[in-house]
Amino acid sequence: MPPEIPVPVNENLPPRPSGRGRVLRNRVVETVLSACLVTTVAAGAAVAAYASSQRAASGDPAAQPVSEAEELRLGYFGNLTHAPALVGLETGIFDDELGSTSLSTHAFNAGPAAIEALNAGAIDATFIGPNPAINSFIQSEGESLRVVAGATSGGAQLVVRAGIDEPEDLRGATLATPQLGNTQDVALRTWLSDNGLTTGTGNPGDVLITPTENALSLQLFSSGDLDGAWVPEPWAARLVLEAGGTVLVDEKDLWPGGRFPTTLLVVAADYLTRHPEQVKALLRGELRSVEWLAAKTGEAGNTAEAAQVLNRGLESAQAKPLPDAVMGRALSHLEFTQDPLSNSLEQLLADGIAAGTATEYDIDGIVDLTLLNEVRAESALAPIPATAQREGDGSS
């Protein structure tokens, strides 16, 4: 991988007062939610009602017949945090592993939209950030989906304009996130609250957060109409290298060991029950994609080939191909792994509750790594525990 391009990072940023290492269930919610969140809650009620009706109509999902699936409909985003998906699609790895099962794809901009599609039955599986996945599990009373693997750790930053050097400088600022309630949106609201800054959507608070599509955030930031954005790669790299932004917060600095899930692979619970062989095929494809990325982006790898494949994938998702400098910087902040870092999910739920985008719920059972570990055993790889966040174990 090309050497990382130096990025100005605020060295004096105070550590998170509360610490990422423990779950904080009683944080005061300082966010005033807009009509957007009311819509989200209403959608959650619809999800729960749908799940209930499906149970009533078909009985226990475990009783559903197992069968071959003619199709697997997969969601993903045009971001480098979804690189395992981009590689699996562009190299034909997923098609190869799925064999006679047809693969169709749907590209999304942010997690809540992908979850809506999954809950509506429009897709069967999706690469997605953890917070929307957690919300869907809660709103469906544990019926909608299962996390079957991780995909990416890291690669999310708060990039700001010149003159913003510490949290206090953000008073009166306007910041963007990809979508209300998505993983970066929750992270920003949590960090601002931890630093004594209130946020709002209808009522601005100390900082106004405007959920904005990533490409538009770059445009608004470049024109001076936005003070910063908490975004995934490659958008953080583009804000820095193309728009002159400065990294105020690298999210990895907020987590023990610098590891946190940016992208997971989730499957609709009913599809997982009825079509386990297709899910295993998808997981084999993801494992091959993760290993391909490790080989191509490592010190002895062919980064030019990796960049070519990833840029084709971005274009297929209607995203802009990246110049070498942006690609190199973005990849240097990402770790591709099938480990979902399950221990972090309780903390992410607590953050969502504090931000007002999630409700209290027992998420035990959201992670099911049974098929993943069967796939890993086929390649003589160590199993990934569903409840342990491991550091430095070298797992793919």
pLDDT in tens, 72-108: 999 999 999 999 999 999 999 999 999 999 999 999 9
Fill in the amino acid letter for 121.
Answer: G
d(C-alpha 215, C-alpha 217), whole Å: 5
Is the pLDDT assigned to residue 223 strictly greater than 90? yes
Segment 130-135 mean pLDDT: 94
- Amino acid present at 200: G
| pLDDT higher than threshold 60 for residue 35 | no
Interstrand relation of 145-154 and 174-177 (parallel, antiparallel or unpaired): unpaired
Tokens of 181: 């309630």
Question: Kind of pairing, strands 145-154 and 261-268?
Answer: antiparallel
Measured distance CA(26)–CA(168) in Å, rounded: 24
Residues 6+ apart with CB under 8 A from 70: 101, 102
Alpha-carbon distance of 332 to 317, in angstroms, equals: 22
pTM attached to this predicted model: 0.81
C-beta separation of 67 from 119 below 8 A: no
pLDDT band at 205, cuts 50/70/90?
confident
Q: Where do runs of H (alpha helix) occur along 179-323?
A: 183-194, 214-222, 235-241, 269-274, 276-297, 303-316
Map out the domains of the chain with their CATH numbers.
71-154+260-379 (3.40.190.10), 156-254 (3.40.190.10)
Asked if 147 and 368 count as a contact pair (C-beta separation under 8 A), the reply is yes
Q: Give me the mean pLDDT over the 172-187 stretch.
A: 93
Are residues 31 and 190 in contact, defined by beta-carbon separation less than 8 angstroms?
A: no
Looking at the predicted structure, is the pLDDT value of residue 396 above 70? no
**Cβ contact 262:186 at 8 Å:** no
Which DSSP string corresponds to 347-384?
HHHHHHHHHTS------TTSB--HHHHHHHHHTTPPP-
pLDDT of 290 reads 98
Instruction: Give the pairing of strands 71-77 and 228-232.
Output: unpaired
In which band, very low, low, confident or very high, does the pLDDT at 302 lie, cut at 50, 70 and 90? Answer: confident
Average pLDDT, the chain: 84
Local confidence band at 11 (pLDDT 50, 70, 90 cut-offs): very low
Q: Are strands 228-232 and 156-160 parallel, antiparallel or unpaired?
A: antiparallel
Question: Residue 166 pLDDT > 70, yes or no?
Answer: yes
Structure tokens at 1: 């991988």
Q: Taking the CA atoms of the chain, what radius of gyration do you get in angstroms?
A: 20
Share of the chain above pLDDT 90, in %: 72
**Which residue has better confidence, 12 or 203?**
203
Does position 240 have pLDDT exceeding 60, yes or no? yes
Averaged pLDDT for residues 8-14? 35
pLDDT digits (tens, 9 = 90+) for 353-376: 988 889 999 999 999 999 999 999
The confidence score (pLDDT) of residue 92 equals 98
Pair of tokens at residue 202: 């209808």
DSSP line for 52-115: HHHHHHH--GGGSPP---SEEEEEEESSGGGHHHHHHHHSSHHHHHHTTSEEEEEEESSHHHHH
CA-CA distances (angstroms) from residue 337 to 127, 146, 257?
A: 13, 17, 15
> Token digits for 368?
């099911």
Separation of alpha carbons 124 and 386, rounded Å = 22
- Whether the pLDDT of residue 66 is over 80: the answer is no
Which among 145, 107, 113 has a CA at the least distance from the CA of 43?
Answer: 113
DSSP state of 29: P
CB of 329 closer than 8 Å to CB of 238: no
Q: What is the pLDDT of residue 303?
A: 87
Instruction: Return the bridge partners of 126, or none.
Output: 75, 266
pLDDT tier at 109 (50, 70, 90 boundaries)? Answer: confident
- State residue 178 phi and psi, 5-degree precision: -60, -40
Beta bridge partners of 298: none
| Euclidean distance between the first and the last CA atom of the chain, given in angstroms as a whole number | 17
Looking at residue 237, what DSSP letter applies? Answer: H
DSSP 205: B
